[in-house]
Structure 1
Amino acid sequence: MDLRIFTEPQQGASYDTLLSVAKATEDLGFDAFFRSDHYLKMGSADGLPGPTDAWITLAGLARETRRIRLGTLMTAGTFRLPGVLAIQVAQVDQMSGGRVELGLGAGWFEEEHKAYGIPFPAERMARLEEQLAIVTGLWATEPGGTFDYTGTHYRVEKSPALPKPAQAKVPVLIGGHGAKRTPRLAARYADEFNMPFASIADSERQFGRVRRAAEEAGRRADDLVYSNALVACVGRDDAEVARRAAAIGRDVDELKANGLAGSPAEVVEKIGAYGAVGSSRIYLQMLDLDDLDHLELISAQVLSQLG
């Protein structure tokens, strides 16, 4: 089971804070550092000092880390034109020496679009499908060739399809709860399917849909990685769990029901239950980015017990 660190900087984090977390992620043996792609805080957080851009952040971290994978859960398709996104991700992949992964979604948080003057079209899923076709098509075009695409929302003509990523294939992540279109898109374009903030039963059901869609598309279901994103709140004792839950404004019982919360033994057991339904990778949503002791505890007493 891979454990990856997943951050939500829109809730309030500077680049320096994210760099500290990314370096701890690398030093403590976690597999990857991922971040959300949002420009507006959610809930009661103050959001200070303000938003940071996902791909500018990852470009910086690409030069200041050496081992960990770097990526997004999920880049909002509404924020970037597909050709521009393909260039940005390829460049950051080059800057990292081939450690980047692209999670791409349709975009959903209408308020942040209003706050920063970003269009929020109704047909976001249709646009996402075309974006996936263009980004992956540009990367797959042989050097010296050109790429063309004609869709309802985007048109690409005689693109030199440059630059190329450092990796032969940048892993593409697709995720979500949708019962039909999401599994179909994952089956066609994804290297990994991520189930965000879902129960074990719901994860098993959705993984099954994606596996069936992959087989119907002519792929082996096991060609995809299946993963979960879950909030983490781990403590050596009940008091420490309660303190960490209070720091992020959450209830301990709710976190135990819907996330990975409790003692290291409890968390290891629950991770095993997700593994039993097909998950091989967990993104630990860390909501208190100043609590690096939390990462150290998870590394020493959770990560160390996972094969």
Structure 2
Amino acid sequence: MTLRICVFIEPHRGADHDDQLRFAQRAEACGFEGFFRADHYQTMGADPGLPGPTDAWLTLAALARETSHIRLGTLVTPVTFRLPGPLALMVAQVDRMSGGRVELGLGAGWYEREHISYGIPFPAASERFDRLEEQLSVITGLWRTPVGETFSHRGNHYRLLDAPALPKPVQVPGPPIIVGGRGPKRTPELAARYADEFNMPFKSVTETARAYRRVTEASARTGRADTGRPPLVLSAGVVVAIGRTPADARRRAAPLHTESALPPEDPLIGSPSQLVDRLGEFTAIGASRIHLRLTDFTDLDHLELIAGEVLPQLGT
């Protein structure tokens, strides 16, 4: 199995648009399949993340015009940030701007602090998951509505009446949707019903394998195969800090040791060969796509090291 490798960054830690543009263009030149970014408005630790956050979809729209073939998307957009109708329009527009290279990662949202800071409502987890389910239904419904017809939805949280469901994305029936996370119940069910890819972010191979089993079982329960849809792409997020020497790897890993509100992660700190071995372990449990989280978006040498010494060993 050829393993598809994307890069993932967290611009809320302190990256302006020029930083992201340089990183995305270099990732494209190095042969990575995709450039994905977080959708957050605030850092998780004491560092303020100067110069401040950048909006994910505004940034991806700009990157769509400054790149040519790398795929672009979010991991993940919280449903609390945007209404589903405008979000479907926004993603479809960026898909057209990119020539059909966009993917939408969608999640329930989890970081309450950024909501409080910017005046964004943050309901209880059960309501956020209800909203996630409705947003998935609305967004896919809008994209799949034939030109000339309208789309309506009457739910507990969102109501749309005779929406023209335009513009249409380039990709048919719509940009790939990614649903992921550690949740053992609703997340696998929603991924099985609506997503094209299930992503387990930044956990051990063992924990990731358990999540894959849950989503595979959910796919069977929901009759996904009976609908004619292809099996879910299984992907993993891997935090990476590798170097040509142990000192280089430790330097790149230093930001991983700062205090943060993020859940515990399982980073790979070491050599290129160690990363190849870890990716082989993910392949063995069914992963066909990996999102490598790189902490320093000014460290283009990190990208080039992975491209030069890791990608050639993966069949990419």
Q: Please give the TM-score of this superposition, normalised by the length of structure 2.
A: 0.93
Q: Distance in 2 between matches of 1:218 and 1:120?
A: 33
Q: Determine the structure 1 residue equivalent to 2:214.
A: 209
Q: Determine the structure 1 residue equivalent to 2:8.
A: 6
Aligned-residue offset at 1:237: 1.6
Q: In structure 2, do the counterparts of structure 1 residues 142 and 206 end up closer, same or farther at CA, with 3 Å as the change threshold?
A: same
Q: Determine the structure 1 residue equivalent to 2:110.
A: 108
Q: Determine the structure 1 residue equivalent to 2:279.
A: 271
Whether the 8 Å contact between 1:98 and 1:166 is mirrored in structure 2 is yes
Runs of 4+ in structure 1 displaced over 2 angstroms? 246-251
Whether the 8 Å contact between 1:10 and 1:50 is mirrored in structure 2 is yes
Alignment identity in percent? 57
Alignment partner for residue 235 of structure 2, among 227, 234, 247? 227
Whether the 8 Å contact between 2:184 and 2:211 is mirrored in structure 1 is yes
- Say what the alpha-carbon RMSD is for the aligned residues: 1.4
Superposition pairs for residues 1-307 of structure 1, below 5 Å?
A: 1-122=3-124, 123-168=127-172, 169-220=174-225, 223-246=231-254, 248-249=256-257, 258-307=266-315
Q: Which amino acid aligns with 1:240?
A: D
Number of matched residues?
302
CA deviations 1:3-55 (Å, max 9, x no partner) are 10101000000000000000011000000000000000111333100000000
Whether the 8 Å contact between 1:171 and 1:191 is mirrored in structure 2 is yes
The worse-fitting range, judged by mean Cα deviation, of 240-249 and 93-102 is 240-249
What SS class does the counterpart of residue 258 from structure 1 fall into? coil
CA deviations 1:102-124 (Å, max 9, x no partner) are 00001111100111111111210
What SS class does the counterpart of residue 157 from structure 1 fall into? strand
Long gaps (5+) in structure 2: 260-264
Q: Please give the TM-score of this superposition, normalised by the length of structure 1.
A: 0.96
Whether the 8 Å contact between 1:174 and 1:190 is mirrored in structure 2 is yes
Aligned-residue offset at 1:222: 6.0
The worse-fitting range, judged by mean Cα deviation, of 44-53 and 266-275 is 44-53
What SS class does the counterpart of residue 193 from structure 1 fall into? strand
Whether the 8 Å contact between 2:188 and 2:218 is mirrored in structure 1 is yes
Q: In structure 2, do the counterparts of structure 1 residues 248 and 20 end up closer, same or farther at CA, with 3 Å as the change threshold?
A: farther
Q: Which amino acid aligns with 2:106?
A: L
Whether the 8 Å contact between 1:191 and 1:225 is mirrored in structure 2 is yes
Q: Distance in 1 between matches of 2:230 and 2:89?
A: 29
Whether the 8 Å contact between 1:248 and 1:288 is mirrored in structure 2 is no
CA deviations 1:156-176 (Å, max 9, x no partner) are 111111110011131000001
Aligned-residue offset at 1:148: 1.0
Q: Distance in 2 between matches of 1:246 and 1:99?
A: 33
Q: Which amino acid aligns with 1:289?
A: F
Whether the 8 Å contact between 2:250 and 2:269 is mirrored in structure 1 is no
Q: Which amino acid aligns with 1:149?
A: H
Long gaps (5+) in structure 1: 252-256
Q: Distance in 1 between matches of 2:255 and 2:144?
A: 45
Q: Which amino acid aligns with 1:209?
A: R
What SS class does the counterpart of residue 35 from structure 2 fall into? strand
Q: Determine the structure 2 residue equivalent to 1:254.
A: none
